[in-house]
Amino acid sequence: MFVGGNRQCYRPFPMAAKTAFTKKELDDLRKRLLEEKEQLQVQLSTIEEATFATSQSELSGEVSFDDENADAGTFTFERERDLSIENNVRDLLRKIDRALARMDDGTFGICSRCGKPIEKARLKALPYADLCIKDAQAQTRSR
Ligand SMILES: [Zn+2]
């Protein structure tokens, strides 16, 4: 992701950045990513089961909104909330997968935008971060 005209010319993946983390630190981060991934997958299948159960009961007519309109509103709200949680979870899973792939090819901890090493503290807080603090802030602002 390099925009032409950037004359400062950072090498995309400087070798030095690899040593920002010791092998043990990388192993710890990988473990955290894998644990998080596992939890997210459990969460995702729970949401999917709930969604499936809901649509099943709708089909069989077990849920009737005629008597309790108030509940119908809550019901829709919860379903929408589930959907947005589901999207967040999928998004996170993709980020984690990318982080794990970057660990494998040795580019973990490199900002995908400027190519500089991502702050270590940031990665410890957010192991799947793929932008340095500066670029993450710039991205948030441009949204
Ligand atoms: Zn950056």
| pLDDT tens per residue across span 55-74 | 777 666 655 555 555 566 66
Residue 97 forms part of a structural domain: yes
| Residues 50, 77: Cα–Cα separation, whole Å | 14
* Any domain includes 13: no
Per-residue model confidence (pLDDT) at position 114 = 96
Count: domains in the chain: 1
Place of tokens 């490199």: 110
Q: Rounded to the nearest whole angstrom, what is the distance from the C-alpha of residue 68 to the centroid of ligand 1? A: 52
Residue 24, both tokens? 């043990």
pTM for the full predicted model: 0.69
- pLDDT above 50 (res 76): yes
Residue 142 falls inside a structural domain? no
User: 43 lies in a domain?
Assistant: yes
Identify whether 8 is part of a domain: no
> 10 C-alpha vs ligand 1 centroid, how far in Å?
11
Whether 93 maps to a domain, the answer reads yes
Segments forming the whole domain that contains residue 27: 20-60+69-109
Ligand 1 centroid – CA 26 distance (Å): 20
